[in-house]
Structure 1
Amino acid sequence: MMTELDALTRNKTWSLVSLPPDEKLIGCKWVYRVKHKADGSIDRYKARLVAKGFTQTEGIDYFVTFSPVAKLTTVRFLLALASTHNWFLY
């Protein structure tokens, strides 16, 4: 757990702030997992801190969700298209 907390702090994933008086707090929980090697022996123990997003209600706690996802085939197609037309990619 300390390794995960250190990583979150080091990467500046979040920062502690005061909860506004008219807002609802979203809880979190620790999820534990044992990672195994190919031979079945224990490699390491993992801990992950996850938010309990299921406690939110659309239209009350949040209004818009956005999660951009690109399939690898789409990226390959765009790279091939740019290559054949000598386009610059940014």
Structure 2
Amino acid sequence: MSNYVSNHRLSKSNKSFVNQLSTVAIPNSVQEALADPRWKATMNEEMKSLQKNETWELVECPPGKKPVGCHWIYTVKYKADGSIEQFKTRLVAKGYTQTYGIDYIETFAPVAKINTVRVLLSLVANLD
């Protein structure tokens, strides 16, 4: 990367931040993540959180159907000074493997327009 980008114009804290980015390796596989205790701990925290929130329940898969798979996403969160704030992992479903009409029938994603929110807030303020 140093062949393409010069950091001589960056402030001292920004240089520190950029240098810190290159020192932490983000795992490419679960095996790599499990070899590092920091990533393993965050994966355990994520699993505990999913179980605590009752995100799913174990059921038998209907005959002829395959369950939707999942994979881990690994990220590192940094503070403004470039030091590591936390290692973060998420277990996400491979929703792109589903087929409309076979695996699911409809999707529902409620979205509020900002004008609607403004009207509601105005009504609350004026009718209070």
> Per the shorter chain, which TM-score range?
0.7 to 0.9
The answer on 1:54 being equivalent to 2:85 is no
The answer on 1:8 being equivalent to 2:18 is no
Number of residue pairs aligned between Structure 1 and Structure 2: 86
- Give the SS at the match of 1:48: strand
Q: Which has the larger radius of gyration?
A: 2
Give the gaps of 5 or more residues in structure 2.
1-42
Equivalent residue, structure 2, for 1:21:
63
What is the Cα-based RMSD across aligned positions, in Å? 1.7
Work out the percentage of aligned pairs sharing the same amino acid: 57
Deviations 1:30-86 (Å, cap 9, x if unpaired)? Answer: 0000010111111110010000000111111111100112134422221213443x3
- Scaled by the length of structure 1, what TM-score is found? 0.83
**Aligned residue among 70, 74, 83 for 2:116:** 74
**Compared with structure 1, are the counterparts of its residues 73 and 41 closer, same or farther at alpha carbon in structure 2 (3 Å cutoff)?**
farther
**Structure with the larger strand share:** 1
- Structure 1 segments, 4+ long, off by >3 Å, are none
Q: Give, in whole Å, the separation in 2 of the partners of 1:18 and 1:52.
A: 19
Q: Give, in whole Å, the separation in 2 of the partners of 1:19 and 1:79.
A: 46
Equivalent residue, structure 2, for 1:34:
76
- Give the SS at the match of 2:119: helix
Give the gaps of 5 or more residues in structure 1.
none
Q: Give, in whole Å, the separation in 1 of the partners of 2:124 and 2:86.
A: 43
- Give the SS at the match of 1:26: coil
**Aligned residue among 78, 98, 107 for 1:65:** 107
